[in-house]
Amino acid sequence: MSEDRAVSTDDRMVRVTEGEWAGWSNWHSDAFERLAGPFYERIEADGSGICAFRAEPRHMNGGGFMHGGCLLTFADSAIFTIARDALGDQHGVTVNLSGDFLDSARVGEFVEARGEVTRAGHKTIFVRGLATADGRPVLSFTAIIKKIGKRD
């Protein structure tokens, strides 16, 4: 997690109160996402979810561009924010994630993902989205989430 001070909104989600990420939240309980990102999320005025992070040197590959695995990990995180209303009080797991790399992201760029649920059924949720770096499209993605049971 960043150096910004944060307050817990529950035992899993932490809301940042200062710095660049003030007003955003991240998953305190997800050690991998905190290590890979950290990735932040917020809900827009229209109710849609947005995820973002700042590209750092540790996110880059040997060529100096963001590693594709980092972008796909970010997309995997973002689909759950995008699908939060469709998930309701259910847990979910990613059963399919595919992406098309459109451009490269570089150190210092603001990377964000937005998307939509294209279909939500009783057991599965279909999501599509777009990740951008400083507004430039870098990854188009689709995913399927399987609902696996109620949250505690």
The whole-angstrom separation of Cα 86 and Cα 83 is: 5
In a domain, 111, yes or no: yes
The whole-angstrom separation of Cα 6 and Cα 103 is: 33
CATH number of the domain encompassing residue 139 = 3.10.129.10
Q: What is the mean pLDDT of residues 25-31?
A: 79
In a domain, 60, yes or no: yes
| pLDDT attached to residue 10 | 47
Q: Is the pLDDT of residue 11 over 70?
A: no
In a domain, 92, yes or no: yes
To the nearest 10°, report the CA torsion of 62, 37, 54, 100.
60
Provide the H-helix boundaries in 1-152. Answer: 31-36, 68-82, 84-87
Residue range 61-107, pLDDT digits in tens: 999 999 999 999 999 999 999 999 999 989 999 999 999 999 999 99
Domain ranges, residue 37: 6-150
Q: How confident is the model at residue 5 (pLDDT cuts 50, 70, 90)?
A: very low
111, 38 Cβ separation under 8 angstroms: no
In a domain, 107, yes or no: yes
Which one-letter DSSP state was computed for residue 36? H
Q: Is the peptide bond before 57 cis (omega within 30 degrees of 0)?
A: no
User: How many domains does the chain fold into?
Assistant: 1
Q: How confident is the model at residue 9 (pLDDT cuts 50, 70, 90)?
A: very low
In a domain, 1, yes or no: no
Percent of the chain with pLDDT over 90: 72
Q: Is the pLDDT of residue 4 over 50?
A: no
Q: How confident is the model at residue 58 (pLDDT cuts 50, 70, 90)?
A: very high
133, 75 Cβ separation under 8 angstroms: no
In a domain, 102, yes or no: yes
In a domain, 70, yes or no: yes
| pLDDT attached to residue 76 | 96
| pLDDT attached to residue 32 | 82
| pLDDT attached to residue 33 | 80
